[in-house]
Amino acid sequence: MTKLTIFVFLSILFSSSSYSWPNRTHIDDFLQCLTHKMKNSNSISQVIHTPKNSSYSDLFNSFFSDNQRINSNFKPSIIFTPTKESQIKAAIHCSKMHDLQIRIRSGGHDHEGLSYTSDTPFFIIDLRNLRSISIDTRKKTAWVQAGATIGELYYRIAERSKKLAFPAGVCPNVGVGGHFSGGGYGMLARKFGIAADNVIDAKLIDANGRIQDRESMGEDHFWAIRGGGGTSFGLIISYKIKLVDIPEKVTVFNVTRMLEQNATHLVYKWQHIADKVDDSLLLRLFLRSNISSPFKRGQRSIHAIFFTLFVGGVDELLREMQNIFPELELRKEDCVEMSWIESIIFFYIGYPKGTSPDVLLNWNTTTKKRLYFKLKSDYVQHPISIKGIEGIWKLYNKLGENAGAELQFSPYGGKLSEIAESETPFPHRAGNKFIIEYAAFWVKMENSKKSIEWSRKTYRYMGKYVSKSPRAAYFNYRDVDLGVNNINGNTSYEQARIWGVKYFKNNFDRLVKIKTKIDPTNFFRNEQSIPPLLS
């Protein structure tokens, strides 16, 4: 078990009373520095939130709305919500002067909470006020600031044009800053690649506090921030992206098959076709065991949910499905034609049918539903046998009380396979059939230990069916079980390589080289950032 996970456990056991604040003098010096540096800034009173401000606890609590499991030793000494680049530069300067670590937060969806927790004294630069989006429909490009959510981006694109779109993730509340820098897979990935494949320029603040764009940072640095992960290579202020052409109508469906409806064979067959079908078709598969079933041992119901976007009309889709996957018995009435922006609403489980796309602008509504979850990932290169699939069903029956699980099978192939492994740091290209995301979720803190153990047991079980040497994982599905850096001391290259090659394969070494060149003192860091080589 890793250090971080152990303390996640301890924190769960001892509850939030274990939080502490670091040495006051240290923080006061930092605060003084920041105030001094910003003395000419009129918004200063609105952007610095210390534990004495009532705004602090609202902000702090909002960080945990997505994953209750996350906890940490320290509370942030300051939550800083800059409105201008100059303020960020000031914070970076003072962070260096007074050795107070930074956590950068855009959308806050980091699976392990690394954007807002730390077991070392720290402050947060929260980019919620940097969320502007400007779209050029003629050039089919956009500049989007890191603090915007992908839902807002989608909304603004659709507002300007019904024939343009952008290929990024499904959950609308994910932030641009973390999502694009770590990859960005969504329903258009087989046709247009991941978000990072469609980034054409960027603006960031480097470890020396300088603002850089693609031209001034150079191609190596620009390469690193398109899949090499946020944090390691500077604070990203904005990305320039290339928009893609989309027809005015796309087609979607969501059909469910239970075990009694031959789900096992359908899942088996799906593996043979999902990465090979027309690029316009993305057939996602969710294997879900419901959370509210009666919890009789061995009695869990299993749903295989086929979740699909087709960039085209319903008739063409039905023809394609009849050709490649007749066993699913898809009917015309299962399919709905809609605009791309409506499909964003359709695919996000949080929105009931008929929800207006306007909801995509409500990024700051805190959810009342409190959930704990643990996620892991794997890549599959050869179909899992029927016996292997049946083993997964058996594992579902070993879930603890008040706990559920979902395995998401997301197909690769198409455009994803056409791009070379070294083109961006995101290396999961040709040869991968699909990615599995393992999600264990539960509703009560006391179920934590058992559910986390379940996710690890499932991961062990899957070992023989998935990619090997390295057993690859997707950086944006961050998992600290894969290994972590020693955040206060010096992380050796060998230590980081353990998790690094899983996320980045052969690109890890290039990332280390770039890091060594642009941030040799490891100023920008967290438990899974790329370490510089020590000279």
Ligand X SMILES: *[C@@H]1O[C@H](CO)[C@@H](O)[C@H](O)[C@H]1NC(C)=O
Binding partner at 12 among ligand FAD, ligand X, none, C-beta below 5 to 8 Å by kind: none
Which phi and psi angles does 493 have, rounded to 5°? -55, -45
Asked if residue 521 lies in contact with residue 502, where contact means CB atoms within 8 angstroms, the answer is no
Any contact of residue 422 with ligand X (CB under 6 A)?
no
Which residues 6+ apart lie within 8 Å of 32 measured at CB? Answer: none
Residue nearest to ligand X (CB): 301
The entry of ligand FAD, ligand X, none that residue 425 binds, CB within 5 to 8 Å by partner kind: none
Looking at 43-51, 70-78, 85-93, 160-168, which segment touches ligand X (CB under 6 A)?
Answer: 43-51
- The dihedral over CA atoms of 231, 407, 286, 187, expressed in degrees to the nearest 10, equals 20
Number of residues engaging ligand X in binding (CB under 6 A):
26
The CB density around residue 386, as the number of other CB atoms within 10 Å, is 12
Q: What distance in Å separates the CA atoms of residue 387 and residue 245, rounded to the nearest whole number?
A: 42
Which of ligand FAD, ligand X, none is residue 170 near (CB under 5 to 8 Å by kind)?
Answer: ligand FAD
How far is it, in rounded angstroms, from Cα 8 to Cα 112? 10
With contacts defined by CB under 6 A, name the span among 45-53, 149-157, 208-216, 275-283 that binds ligand X: 45-53
- Taking the alpha carbons of 229, 232, 237, 242 in that order, is the dihedral positive or negative? negative
Q: Work out how close the CB of 524 gets to ligand FAD at its nearest, in angstroms, rounded to a whole number.
A: 8
How many residues are recorded in the chain?
535
Q: Which positions touch ligand FAD (CB under 6 A)?
A: 66, 103-111, 114-115, 127, 146, 169-171, 174-175, 177-179, 181-186, 230-231, 235-236, 476, 526
From the list ligand FAD, ligand X, none, pick the one residue 262 interacts with, judged by a Cβ distance below 5 to 8 Å according to partner type.
Answer: ligand X
Hey, is 124 helix, strand or coil? Answer: strand
Query: According to the binding rule CB under 6 A, does residue 55 interact with ligand X?
Result: yes
Q: Which is nearer to ligand FAD, 107 or 411 (CB)?
A: 107
CA-to-CA dists, residue 348 to 173, 214, 245, angstroms:
10, 33, 22
The answer to whether 352 contacts ligand X (rule: CB under 6 A) is no
Quick one: 37 or 111, whose CB is closer to ligand FAD?
111
Within 8 A by CB and 6+ apart from 465, the residues are 380, 382, 384, 385, 388
Per the structure block, which two tokens stand in for 453? 């153990």
Site membership for ligand X, residue 20 (CB under 6 A): no
Min. distance of Cβ 276 from ligand X in angstroms?
A: 18
- Cis preceding linkage at 470, omega within 30: yes
According to the binding rule CB under 6 A, does residue 371 interact with ligand X?
Answer: no
- 254's contact among ligand FAD, ligand X, none, with CB below 5 to 8 A by partner kind, is ligand X
We find the least distance from the C-beta atom of residue 391 to ligand FAD, in angstroms, to be 26
Q: Which residues are catalytic?
A: 477
Q: Which is nearer to ligand X, 30 or 475 (CB)?
A: 30
Q: Which of 139, 489, 494, 521 binds ligand X (CB under 6 A)?
A: 489
In the complex with ligand FAD, the residue whose CB is nearer, 226 or 321, is 226
| Distance (Å, whole) CA 125 – CA 123 | 7
Please identify which residue in 305, 336, 338, 371 interacts with ligand X, judged by CB under 6 A. Answer: 305
For residues 238 and 490, give the distance between their C-alpha atoms in angstroms, rounded to a whole number.
Answer: 30
Q: At what angle do helices 340-347 and 150-160 cross, to 10 degrees?
A: 160
Is the separation of the CB atoms in 69 and 89 below 8 Å?
A: no
Residues lying near ligand X in the complex (CB under 6 A) are found at: 23, 25-26, 45-46, 49, 52-53, 55, 254, 256, 262, 265, 290, 292-293, 301, 305, 327, 347, 349, 364-365, 489-490, 534
